[in-house]
Structure 1
Amino acid sequence: MDGVGGMDGVDGIGGANDPVISLRGVRAELGSRPVLRGIDLAVHRGEVVALLGANGSGKSTAVRSIIGQVPVSGGEIELFGTPRRGFRDWKRVGYVPQRTTAAGGVPATVTEIVASGRLSRARFGMLRKADHQAVRRALELVGMADRAKDSVDALSGGQHQRVLIARALASEPELLIMDEPMAGVDLASQEILAATLREQVSRGTSVLLVLHELGPLEPLIDRAVVLRDGCVLHDGPPPQAVGQHALPGHDHVHPHAAHDAEPIRTGLLS
């Protein structure tokens, strides 16, 4: 099965300098509307890349095409040197989706949600001692260990986001793909998330982030790729000024519409 949620398999390891994500000439449509118009994008091992741009520029479509949630009409996508259509080793990839609640309306505890991110490494769907330890470590990293037994329905928006990131970290991924992880998150949670990401980067994790502005993540960003109308406008050093209005070619950024929100599956990598 293609995309996040596929079966585990054996994929190429690749060289140290090979990109973990490679998009070449990728095109995609939503309905009949072109959203990606032949974009090139690469993330190398240990690199932190921010994908920036105004609403409607194609940022979220780009990351969803990488994980197989949006079909592409042209171009090539590779993960760890393997064509995405044949990639199966999804335990190497942690994904944090945009603007969701942790349980998607399903009653669950914090631990249950985070443990679902470990299923890609579990044998026959059964969590072993090492799996439970990985779940506890992930909760500690995002400062949610003291809420492990609580229902996710009792959490704030920022705490929901921390649980989603813990779920992605539970699989101990080599690559993290995060779609606007700071959106709607209070400052305290932003600082915790930035510290969590800094810890992952120090361990060599590669990261692709969709952001509206760099904020507290700015010191971690190696490269910024700015999209406009489905095309790459800029690929290079991050903008020096803070905020979306400093981006190359920026006109104006409007708040998210409610229809941008989408539910997620509890067993993301299962």
Structure 2
Amino acid sequence: MADTNEPVITLRKVTAELGSRPVLRGIDLTVRRGEVVALLGANGSGKSTAVRSIIGQVPVTGGAIELFGTPRGRFRDWARVGYVPQRTTAAGGVPATVTEVVSSGRLSRARFGILRRADREAVTRALESVGMADRAKDSVDALSGGQHQRVLIARALAAQPELLIMDEPMAGVDLASQEVLAATLREQVAAGTTVLLVLHELGPLEPLIDRAVVLRDGCVRHDGPPPKAVGQHALPGHDHVHPHSAEAEPVRTGLLS
């Protein structure tokens, strides 16, 4: 049985730059098996850079990153990791059907790059989980923004990852798709998937969040219970000081990103 206390993601004093501009200034972050952690913060706080550094898209200038206890530079079992980038065209401008895009997420588990019956079934289940099975043969060019996002999530789920990293999955997505995505994530969490989310606001995902990590200017300013937006605290721009934050700095619960 898996150790529920096992670190799945570990960042120690991680620094990173974009165009010689410091973006991460010594990040410490641990996500343990089965946790759902939300990464919050204003624009430019380093949220997306942090998750992109975890998967190797942004080189770090200092510190250490581990995945499943292995230094990221030596980590090779990427089938264990599902990544959903910020909303983009699902096929990257290449003509493709919904099934083709989602199937590409299964290649990391397919033998010799050939999709067998078990792989095709996993693709079908992924499409069903995001409510897109009826659009399987459609071109992704015909999809709405919310449907694009569902396809990107299905692509990540097709490999049946143990760790799911999602960068603003709810951004610019209609309410119906938000509810589908929340239900999909509930299923993944119930199955034991570890999740790290970059979020603009907690929204319908709030009941699933175990911990919130708030970044400001590339530093962790809060790591603990998610900020609660209740009553006037829900108003945009309202500064709410969280006494459990180490520095008791105000967190703008209405404008987190």
**Shorter-chain TM-score above 0.5:** yes
Preserved contact between residue 3 and residue 33 of structure 2 (Cα < 8 Å): no
Which consecutive unaligned segments of at least 5 residues does structure 1 have? 1-12, 256-270
Pair member with larger Rg: 2
Superposed counterparts of 1:248-263, under 5 Å = 249-250=250-251, 253=255
The superposition leaves residues 156-200 of structure 1 with CA deviations (integer Å, 9 ceiling, x where unpaired) of: 000000000000000000000000000000000000000000000
Given residue 249 of structure 1, which amino acid in structure 2 is its aligned partner?
P
The superposition leaves residues 204-258 of structure 1 with CA deviations (integer Å, 9 ceiling, x where unpaired) of: 0000000010000000000000000000000000011157746753468598xxx
Of residues 205, 225, 228, the one that matches 2:216 is 228
Between the aligned partners of 1:102 and 1:75, the Cα distance in structure 2 is 33
Judged with a 3 Å threshold, the aligned counterparts in structure 2 of structure 1 residues 244 and 165 are, in CA distance, closer, same or farther, namely farther
Which consecutive unaligned segments of at least 5 residues does structure 2 have? 241-248
Between the aligned partners of 1:26 and 1:14, the Cα distance in structure 2 is 27
Alignment match, 1:71: 59
Of residues 89, 92, 95, the one that matches 1:101 is 89
Alignment match, 1:30: 18
RMSD of aligned Cα (Å) = 1.8
The superposition leaves residues 10-63 of structure 1 with CA deviations (integer Å, 9 ceiling, x where unpaired) of: xxx984412100000000000110000001011100000000000000000000
Preserved contact between residue 41 and residue 256 of structure 2 (Cα < 8 Å): no
Between the aligned partners of 1:60 and 1:167, the Cα distance in structure 2 is 20
Q: Equivalent residue of 1:177, what SS? A: strand
Alignment match, 2:108: 120
Alignment match, 1:206: 194
Preserved contact between residue 201 and residue 256 of structure 2 (Cα < 8 Å): no
Q: Equivalent residue of 1:73, what SS? A: strand
Percent identity between matched residues is: 81
The superposition leaves residues 121-166 of structure 1 with CA deviations (integer Å, 9 ceiling, x where unpaired) of: 0111100000000000000000000000000000000000000000
Preserved contact between residue 97 and residue 139 of structure 2 (Cα < 8 Å): yes
Alignment match, 1:135: 123
Alignment match, 1:215: 203
- Report how many aligned residue pairs link the two structures: 243
Is 1:185 the counterpart of 2:173? The answer is yes
Q: Equivalent residue of 2:187, what SS? A: helix
Given residue 191 of structure 1, which amino acid in structure 2 is its aligned partner?
E
Between the aligned partners of 1:145 and 1:151, the Cα distance in structure 2 is 13
Is 1:59 the counterpart of 2:60? The answer is no
Alignment match, 2:164: 176
Given residue 23 of structure 1, which amino acid in structure 2 is its aligned partner?
L
Given residue 237 of structure 1, which amino acid in structure 2 is its aligned partner?
P
Please report the TM-score for the alignment, with normalisation by the length of structure 1: 0.86
Between the aligned partners of 1:37 and 1:170, the Cα distance in structure 2 is 34
Please report the TM-score for the alignment, with normalisation by the length of structure 2: 0.91
Preserved contact between residue 26 and residue 40 of structure 1 (Cα < 8 Å): yes
Alignment match, 2:142: 154
Preserved contact between residue 102 and residue 123 of structure 2 (Cα < 8 Å): yes
Judged with a 3 Å threshold, the aligned counterparts in structure 2 of structure 1 residues 206 and 254 are, in CA distance, closer, same or farther, namely closer
Between the aligned partners of 1:117 and 1:243, the Cα distance in structure 2 is 39
Q: Equivalent residue of 1:113, what SS? A: helix
Between the aligned partners of 1:55 and 1:250, the Cα distance in structure 2 is 13
Preserved contact between residue 215 and residue 243 of structure 1 (Cα < 8 Å): no
Name whichever structure is richer in strand by fraction: 2
Given residue 236 of structure 1, which amino acid in structure 2 is its aligned partner?
G
Q: Equivalent residue of 2:99, what SS? A: helix
